[in-house]
């Protein structure tokens, strides 16, 4: 069996275990594109994309959703909404971790506003299939070690955090890429075959092409906090106060504590 087929069979089995009607956090990239396409075999998922007006993720997601012929809802945010949601998320993410907070804000926003009880994210795909740009400069042994370490961090910290965020709003979140069957399929691929001629996540892209996930999802996209425009907003809010991003979040957290007391 080809590797693409093994990946797709594992993802299909993981998706089949999820109750129909779940919505997908959709960025318009290959990870969420393949999840949406596989989910479509079982039900017709709603796709949600969070971003500021004109952000790369909103533009790409609209085109990708049209190609996939799936319903799509943009969730357009502004500075006041980002600050409000960041303030609430500081109950779960410390202010000295702005990368995690900004990355998880789209999930927080979707979970707080949508009607679906179950959400699906692409958490884990980058760690399984070498999706981060920093992997490009690593040798085979270093890459293998980094992939193992990064996946452990996702399983031990990132995935439980996302479950807590969703549960806070009465939702469940599922991570099909972290299903043991998918992890096994991905880990069977030698790390030196995950990046081909500078293209990250090569096996996953081949799997996407196998099931007709269209070209709009093939771009090398930025992480959620950048593609959505959220990081730019947070940095702008910090600059208005002449603060670093970490100082700004610490100020928000301190104000919340004073109000609570």
Instruction: Grade residue 226 by pLDDT with cuts at 50, 70 and 90.
Output: confident
pLDDT score recorded for residue 217 = 52
**Residue with the larger pLDDT of the pair 224 and 159:** 159
Report angle CA 114, 91, 240 to the nearest 5 degrees: 90
pLDDT score recorded for residue 218 = 56
Average of per-residue pLDDT values in the chain: 92
Q: How far is CA 120 from CA 67, 143, 175, 177, 214, in A?
A: 20, 27, 6, 10, 20
The burial class, CB within 10 Å (0-12 / 13-18 / 19+), for 140 is exposed
- pLDDT above 90 for 224: no
φ and ψ at residue 131, rounded to 5 degrees: -95, -15
pLDDT score recorded for residue 1 = 56
Distance CA 34, CA 193 (A): 19
The pLDDT tens digits of the residues spanning 38-71 come to: 999 999 999 999 999 999 999 999 999 999 999 9
Q: Does domain 3-260 have CATH number 3.40.50.620?
A: yes
Q: Which of 232, 227, 230 is nearest to 27 (CA)?
A: 227
Note the pTM of the prediction, 2 decimals. 0.93
């Amino acid at each position: 069996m080809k590797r693409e087929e093994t990946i797709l069979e594992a993802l299909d089995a993981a998706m089949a275990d999820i109750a129909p009607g779940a919505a997908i956090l959709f960025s318009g990239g290959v990870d969420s594109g393949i999840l949406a396409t596989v989910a479509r075999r079982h039900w017709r998922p709603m796709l949600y994309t969070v971003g500021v007006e004109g952000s790369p993720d909103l533009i790409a997601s609209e085109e990708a959703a049209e190609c996939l012929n799936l319903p799509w809802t943009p969730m357009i945010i502004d500075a006041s909404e980002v600050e409000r949601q960041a303030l609430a998320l500081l109950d779960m993410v410390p202010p000295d971790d702005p990368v995690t907070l900004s990355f998880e804000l789209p999930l927080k926003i979707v979970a707080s506003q949508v009607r679906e009880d179950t959400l699906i994210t692409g958490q884990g795909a980058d760690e399984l299939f070498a999706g981060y740009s920093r992997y490009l400069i690593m040798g085979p042994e270093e890459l293998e070690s980094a992939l193992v370490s990064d996946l452990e961090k996702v399983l031990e910290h990132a995935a439980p955090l996302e479950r807590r965020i969703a549960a806070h709003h009465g939702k469940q979140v599922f991570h099909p890429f972290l299903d043991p069957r998918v992890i096994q399929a991905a880990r069977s691929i030698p790390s030196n075959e995950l990046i081909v001629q500078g293209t990250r996540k090569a096996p996953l892209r081949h799997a996407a092409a196998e099931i007709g996930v269209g070209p709009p999802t093939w771009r090398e996209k930025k992480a959620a906090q950048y593609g959505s425009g959220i990081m730019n907003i947070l940095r702008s809010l910090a600059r208005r106060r002449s603060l670093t991003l970490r100082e700004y979040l610490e100020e928000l957290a301190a104000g919340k504590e004073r109000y609570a007391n």
